[in-house]
Amino acid sequence: MTSESPSKTAQVGHKFDESVRTVLSAIVIALAIRMFAFEPFNIPSSSMVPGLLIGDYLFVSKYSYGYSSLSTIFGVLPLPGRLFNQAPERGDVVVFKLPRDNSTDYIKRLVGLPGDTVDVRHGLLYINGVAVERQKLEQPMATNYVRPSETTTDYLETFPDGNQHVIREEGDDFALDNTPMFIIPPRHYFMMGDNRDNSADSRAPNGGVGYVPEENLVGKAQILFFSLDGRAHFWEIWKWPWAVRWDRLFKKIS
């Protein structure tokens, strides 16, 4: 009957300790990246169609606007206000915490900055009293993935600073196509979905989104890195060849 020598046992224990340290280090690095650099999000609703579709997965840069307790994982940093605060720009696609519960993630386009006035008249967006230019596209976008209705119209909308993006309208007299004038308070922002007639956003303060405080900003949507058309869950890798929207991978979000 034989037994391992003390030196061999110590060697095995040392290798095990090294493996544990490596795994723990990898976990810490991954959490740090997710907390301070990039965090993945997926699109659960159609409020940002045609630019973002249900089943899209994207990376959000956490550093773009600085850090708050609501932008870190599980609120582990009890920060007052924002650390390294950087003001977002009009037209950014932003992930933020829903103000009424401070926990649900929403994604919308930033339309109004602090001090702006925003209102909608017969589907046309006005910022500071000036109508935002929109140009009708010949046909709706993303028709191979989202079947548009007969009344669907896509427009190229151009903000005063030149930011351009595509919005979708089903008509110009839906519930949120005519609004009162909103005056954006200091340190708050006004958000709208690109799918204007299918978006609960800042136009609906009661039961919607209302004004978004700056501490609720999580980050800026940057890269669309993956997309599934609904025929597979993310973990069903064996279905990916048929379910992945290959032409949508690694697209910059604008």
Q: Assess whether pLDDT exceeds 60 at residue 91.
A: yes
Residue with token string 């922002």: 189
Give ∠ CA 208-41-118 in degrees, rounded to 5.
Answer: 35
**Mean pLDDT (whole number) for 119-133:** 97
**Mean pLDDT (whole number) for 168-195:** 95
Q: Are 57 and 42 in contact, with CB atoms under 8 Å apart? A: yes
Q: Quick count: other Cβ atoms within 10 Å of Cβ 242?
A: 9
Residue 229 in tokens:
């058309």
Question: pLDDT band at 205, cuts 50/70/90?
Answer: confident
Please report, for the chain, the start and end positions of each structural domain, with discontinuous segments joined by +: 40-252
State which fold the 40-252 domain adopts.
Umud Fragment, subunit A (2.10.109)
Residue with token string 């340290």: 21
d(CA 94, CA 168) in angstroms, rounded, equals 18
**Mean pLDDT (whole number) for 69-96:** 76
Positions annotated as catalytic residues are 47, 108
Residue 30 in tokens:
């991954």
Give the model confidence (pLDDT) of 2-42 as tens digits. Answer: 555 666 666 555 555 565 555 554 544 444 445 555 689 99
Contacts of 197 (CB under 8 A, 6+ apart): 168, 169, 170, 171, 174, 175, 176, 177
